[in-house]
Amino acid sequence: MGENKQFLGHIAAFVTILVWGFGFVSVVVLLRSFTPAEILFFRFGLAMIALYIIYPKRMAKTTWRQELLFLAAGVSGVTMYFLLQDFALLHTAASNVSVIVAVSPVFTILLSWWLLKSGRPKGTFFLGALLALGGIGLISFGSSQLEVHPLGDFLAVLGALSWAIYCVVLKKISEFGHHTIQVTRRVFFYGLIFLIPVILASDFRLGLYRFLEWQNIGGIIYLGIASSALCFVFWNFSLKRLGPVKTSVYAYLIPLVAVGASIALLDEVITWSSGAGIALVLVGVLLSNRKEKRRKVS
C-alpha cells in the first residue's frame, strides 16, 4: 500500500510538471495583453472559484499556529515566488532566471535538514541533481551568451528560496490532516491577500473586454484551472506522499517540458545543446529518485 501511494505521488508530480511546462506558452501569449500582476490575480482568483465548486466543504476549525503556516505557504508559494520571477525578468536574462530558480530543490534539501530534521539524501541524489542542473544550463544557455546582472539574479535566487520554503511548509501542513483541496484553497486565499498591495501600487485594470479574444480567455482558463487549481492540488498531494525533497526534484523537468512546448506551439528550433540538456535532465531526475539497495548484514 505504501509503494502504491508513492507511485501515485510520482505520477501527480510528473503530470504537474507537464502542465506547468506548457503554461509558459500561455504566459507568453497573455503578456501581450496583461501585466504580470493582472495575470496572477485572474489565474488564482479563477483557481479559488474552481476549487470551491469542486470541493465546497469548509475546512475544520484551525489554530492560529496553523493559520500562520497557511499564510507562510501563500506568501512564499504564490505571492513571492511568482512576483520574484516576474521582477527578476525585468532585470536579467530569462535564461539566467530559469537556471537559478531551478536550484530550489537544493534549498529544499537544506531547509528540510534544518526544519524537518529529515535524513541525509543518498549520493545518487546529489549526482542526479548535478546532472540535471548541467542539463538545464545547456538548455538555457545553448543559444545565448551568459550574462550576469546582480539585481535580477539575486531576485531569482530569492524566488528559488521562496518555492523551497513553500514545499517545506506544505509538508508540515500535511500533518494537520486537512483535505488537499482545502489546503490549496487556503494557500491561494493568503496568496491573493498579499497580492493586493502590489495591485494597488501597479497600473492594474480589470479590462474584461480583453477576454473577448480566445487566446486570452483560453490562456487564463488554462493557467487558472489546470496550472493553478488542479496542479497545485497535485503538487501538494505529492508533497504529502513523497516529501519535499523527492517532489522538488521534478522541478528540474520544467525546462525540458518548456522547450518541447516551445518547439510544438511556438515553432522554435531545438539545438544540439538543448537536446543534450534534455537527456541530462532526464538522467538526473531518474538518478535523484533512484532507491539505493540496502546491504544485508550477514
Domain count, the chain: 1
Does some domain include residue 24? yes
- Looking at residue 298, what is its pLDDT? 36
Pairwise CA distance, residues 99 & 92, whole Å: 12
Dihedral (C-alpha) 116, 120, 125, 131: value to the nearest 10 degrees?
90
Q: 233 lies in which domain range? A: 2-288
Q: What's the pLDDT band for 100 if we cut at 50, 70, 90?
A: low
Residues 204-249 pLDDT 10s: 888 989 998 999 999 999 999 999 999 999 988 998 888 877 787 7
Does some domain include residue 298? no
Does some domain include residue 293? no
Q: What is the mean pLDDT of residues 81-107?
A: 71
Amino acid identity for residue 83 in this structure: L
Residue 215's nearest CA partner among 28, 17, 21 is: 28
Residues 155-191 pLDDT 10s: 878 888 898 899 889 888 988 889 989 999 999 999 9
**HEC states along the chain?**
CHHHHHHHHHHHHHHHHHHHHHHHHHHHHHCCCCCHHHHHHHHHHHHHHHHHHHCCCCCCCCCHHHHHHHHHHHHHHHHHHHHHHHHHHHHCCHHHHHHHHCCHHHHHHHHHHHHHCCCCCCHHHHHHHHHHHHHHHHHHHCCCCCCCCHHHHHHHHHHHHHHHHHHHHHHHHHHHCCCHHHHHHHHHHHHHHCCHHHHHHCCCCCCHHHHHCHHHHHHHHHHHHHHHHHHHHHHHHHHHHHCHHHHHHHHHHHHHHHHHHHHHHCCCCCCHHHHHHHHHHHHHHHHHCCCCCCCCCC
Q: What's the pLDDT band for 80 if we cut at 50, 70, 90?
A: very high
Phi, psi of 290 (to 5 degrees): -75, 135
- Looking at residue 22, what is its pLDDT? 82
Does some domain include residue 26? yes
Does some domain include residue 295? no
Pairwise CA distance, residues 85 & 106, whole Å: 18
Cell numbers given for 36: 504580470
Cell numbers given for 5: 501511494
- Looking at residue 17, what is its pLDDT? 86
Does some domain include residue 296? no
Q: What is the mean pLDDT of residues 259-286?
A: 70
- Looking at residue 132, what is its pLDDT? 74
Q: What's the pLDDT band for 21 if we cut at 50, 70, 90?
A: confident
Q: What's the pLDDT band for 1 if we cut at 50, 70, 90?
A: low
Does some domain include residue 160? yes
Cell numbers given for 256: 525540458
Q: What is the mean pLDDT of residues 271-275?
A: 71
Answer with the residue of higher pLDDT: 296 or 49.
49
Residues 26-52 pLDDT 10s: 877 888 888 888 888 999 999 999 999
Residues 6+ apart with CB under 8 A from 260: 21
Positive/negative CA dihedral, 228, 189, 91, 132:
negative
Q: Is the pLDDT of residue 291 over 90?
A: no
Does some domain include residue 139? yes
- Looking at residue 2, what is its pLDDT? 58
